[in-house]
Each structure stands twice: as structure tokens, then as C-alpha cells.
Amino acid sequence: MLQTLGFTADRSLLLQTTRTAFAGPRVTQGLVTIQQQRRGLTTAYTLGPLFPGQHRYLPPVTQALRHYTTQRRRKPTVTTPAPSQQHQQPQQLNTRDDPTLPGQTLTFVQKIKGFVSFYKSGLKELVSNLRAASAIRLRIENGEVVTRSEYQIVQRSPSDKLRLVPFGFLVIVIPELIPLSIWLFPGMCPSTCRTYSQVVKMAKKQDELRQKIHVAALERIHSLGLSPEDFMRDADISRLEQRDMDIFSLERASASDLQMLCAFMNVSAKGGARAEALGRHLEYLRHDDRLLVRDELVDRLGLSELHRACQERGIPSAGYGEGHLRIALGSWMRQSGGGKAEAASLMPIIWSRLVLLQDCVKSQ
């Protein structure tokens, strides 16, 4: 019966095992294991299927090998902190692949996939930024140090929140209409979903408007006895700041001057609200200048952010190379004192951008 089950035994081995039983379970098990290896004793592994309640006999060496293999295959346990303890870090700006950046060679299919991936990741980034905006705003109010990316999230989240619903509907329901919709209504796209080509296109449109304002600005300074040569150098701008002229004061500037400045700086305001809106924009520029200088970002901004920074300061960016734009932004930082000066002192610098529109990207 034992032989039919595959169990072969040696009588002498069984007698020896019985005699050594009093030596203890560990010694007995070791002797049995040695005899199994020397005499080729095979255990009937078919007993397991026949009798499910019985465990198979495995030598200690085999048990150790199985335990070692199991420990190696077992994945390490990672302790994840509770959601309330996790610090939500806002995503950095310009960290995603933009299919419209120069220097890329992409096929038509790769461009389509790149656009879809860019817009979807942009929506995810927008949702994450909207959640983090309140916490960042509270940190700013408490006087804590924030990065420029966090500061930009706070500044852009109110307008991006209004664009989230219509743009999200296009991405989820009819993504095929996104290029057409953006071409017809470029303002509906959130800041996190604007490609480099779209930023350049919007900058080109704004620069064309500035060309018209530039002509009116020349007539205005001529009526005051000034000329473009009075705005050429940094020392000239400092002297103009010391002169008590109405065009350099937010409180005393005429309605036509404020309208001209708001249109040039792309500040949306009407009537008597123009002075206040322009003042808020200048205060924003002062704070942003301080962050750019503190973190040494003038030479490290991405192309899209570089265009936006120049456009916000009245520097034309469409049609100019990256090197010229960085020089122009550095010139602005030098003239503004890196955010150390008051917001009102930026008025002569803005007028210099108005008067020297064609030369404002060159180092003064």
C-alpha cells in the first residue's frame, strides 16, 4: 500500500530514526534529513491531494529556500500619510511638453497626440492650482515666503476659474473643436492650457494695437515739450521721474492718458476705474519684479513665460528672439530697481516703452 502511494522506506533508517527520537525533535529532524539526502528517501507528495488536511513534508533546507524567495518577492510596504497631513504642492508653471515649441520635428499624428495630452494635463494642473490658490493666498497674507510660480497661481486663478467650465466642456465632449474655438476665441483658454504658439499669436495682436498707441503717445509728449531722446537712457528716466508732470502721476493723469496707458498695458478698465486698475497692475509688477530678481529667473524663464512677462510690462515680444527678450526684461528690472521702487515710480518707465516702442527690446 505504501509503495503504491510512492512512499519507499528503508527498515534500517526507520530503526535508526526511532532510536534517535529521544535526542529531541531538532536532532531527529536533522538526522532524518541527512538520511534522506544520503539514501535518496522520497516522500510521497501525493498524500497532499489524497488527504487535504495533511501538510506535505518539506525538508528544512527547502523551507528556508521558500521563505527566502517569498520575502524577496514581497513588495515593500510604503506608509502613506493621511490626506490631511499631505502638503499639496502646486504644479510648477511650464513643466509640460508643448507641441508648439520651436526646435521640434513632429509628425501630424504626434502633434495631435501632443495637443490632446497638453490640454488634458493643463486641465488637471488648473484644478490642482485652484485648490492650492486659497492656501497660497493665506500664506501670502501671513507674510510667508512664496515662489513666483505660487504667486502667479494666485494672480491667474480668478480668471482661469471662469474659463474652466466652457473649456473643460470642449476637452471632454468635443475635443475636435478645440483648435477652432481657440482660434475664434483665444481668451477662453485658461493660462495652463495656452500653448507657445497661442501666446505668441496673442502677443502679436497686442503689439499691433501698441503700434497705433505709439503714434498717439508721440503726439502727446511733443505737446508737453518732450522728445523721444528724453527717454533713451536710465538716467533720463530718473530725471523725468523727478519732474512734477501730470502724465507721470496716477492721480493727476488725464482720462485720455489713462485710457492710452491701460490699452498699452492690456489692462481692462473703463471710465473712472482706469486709475485704480492701472495702479493694481503696477503693484503686481512691482511684486513680480521682486520675485524675478530674488529667484534669478530672468535668464531661466521658459519661452511662454518669457513672452508673458514682457507683454505684462509693455515690451513687444512678437517677432523678437529669445535673447532680445531677456535683455529687454533685464533692462526693465534695472530701471525698476528689481521691485524696490514704489509702484507709482513705474509710470516714467511705461511712458518710455510707449515712446520707444521699436527700441524697447534693446539694452539701454
Quick: pLDDT tens for 317-335: 988 899 999 999 999 999 8
Which grid cell is 11? Answer: 527498515
CA distance linking residue 316 with residue 206, whole number of Å: 8
Task: Tell me, yes or no, whether 312 lies in a domain.
Answer: yes
Domain count, the chain: 3
Last residue of a domain, one of 161, 191, 221: 191
Q: Are residues 161 and 205 in the same domain?
A: no
Task: Tell me, yes or no, whether 273 lies in a domain.
Answer: yes
Helix locations, 8-147, DSSP H: 11-19, 25-39, 47-50, 60-73, 108-141
Q: Quick one: average pLDDT of 41-51?
A: 40
Q: What is the pLDDT of residue 5?
A: 42
Q: What is the pLDDT of residue 70?
A: 54
Query: Which of 37-46, 55-64, 202-211, 235-244 tops mean pLDDT?
Result: 202-211
Q: Are residues 287 and 222 in the same domain?
A: yes
Q: What is the pLDDT of residue 8?
A: 43
Q: Are residues 179 and 231 in the same domain?
A: no
Cα separation values, 145 from 139, 140, 149, 356, Å: 8, 7, 12, 36
CA distance linking residue 118 with residue 130, whole number of Å: 18
Q: Are residues 292 and 174 in the same domain?
A: no
Q: Are residues 208 and 337 in the same domain?
A: yes
Task: Tell me, yes or no, whether 97 lies in a domain.
Answer: no
Task: Tell me, yes or no, whether 45 lies in a domain.
Answer: yes
Q: What share of the chain is helix, strand, coil (3-state, %, to 5)?
A: 65, 0, 35
**Among 155, 151, 148, which Cα is nearest to 295's?**
148
pLDDT for 51 beyond 70? no
Q: Are residues 164 and 217 in the same domain?
A: no
Angle (CA) 227-229-230 rounded to 5° is 75
Task: Tell me, yes or no, whether 364 lies in a domain.
Answer: no
pLDDT for 65 beyond 70? no
Last residue of a domain, one of 159, 191, 223: 191
Last residue of a domain, one of 191, 213, 230: 191
What residues contact 3, with CB distance under 8 A and at least 6 apart? none
| Three-state SS at 206 | helix
Q: Are residues 303 and 351 in the same domain?
A: yes
Which grid cell is 319? Answer: 517677432
Q: How many CB atoms sit inside 10 A of residue 237's CB?
A: 19
263 neighbors 254 (Cβ within 8 angstroms)? no
Q: Are residues 223 and 146 in the same domain?
A: no
Q: Are residues 334 and 203 in the same domain?
A: yes
Q: What is the pLDDT of residue 59?
A: 56
What residues contact 363, with CB distance under 8 A and at least 6 apart? 327, 328, 330, 331
Q: Are residues 177 and 242 in the same domain?
A: no
Q: Band the pLDDT of 103: cuts 50, 70, 90.
A: confident
Task: Tell me, yes or no, whether 208 lies in a domain.
Answer: yes
Q: Are residues 180 and 233 in the same domain?
A: no
pLDDT for 4 beyond 50? no
- Residue 58 is given by DSSP the state -
**Among 315, 338, 356, 349, which Cα is nearest to 237's?**
349
Q: Quick one: average pLDDT of 62-78?
A: 50
Phi, psi of 310 (to 5 degrees): -70, -40
Which grid cell is 220? Answer: 502727446
pLDDT for 150 beyond 70? yes
Q: What is the pLDDT of residue 358?
A: 60
For 311, counting Cβ atoms within 10 Å of its Cβ (0-12 exposed, 13-18 middle, 19+ buried), the class is buried
pTM, to two decimals: 0.69
Q: Band the pLDDT of 359: cuts 50, 70, 90.
A: low
Q: Are residues 185 and 42 in the same domain?
A: no
Q: Quick one: average pLDDT of 273-280?
A: 94
Domain extent, residue 167, equals 108-191
For 217, counting Cβ atoms within 10 Å of its Cβ (0-12 exposed, 13-18 middle, 19+ buried), the class is buried
Task: Tell me, yes or no, whether 113 lies in a domain.
Answer: yes
What residues contact 9, with CB distance under 8 A and at least 6 apart? 2, 41
C-alpha torsion 230→211→300→192, nearest 10: 140
Task: Tell me, yes or no, whether 139 lies in a domain.
Answer: yes
- For 105-121, the pLDDT digits (tens) are 888 888 888 888 888 88
Q: Band the pLDDT of 272: cuts 50, 70, 90.
A: confident
Q: What is the pLDDT of residue 27?
A: 41
20 neighbors 31 (Cβ within 8 angstroms)? yes
Return the higher-pLDDT residue of 174 and 164. 164
pLDDT for 346 beyond 70? yes
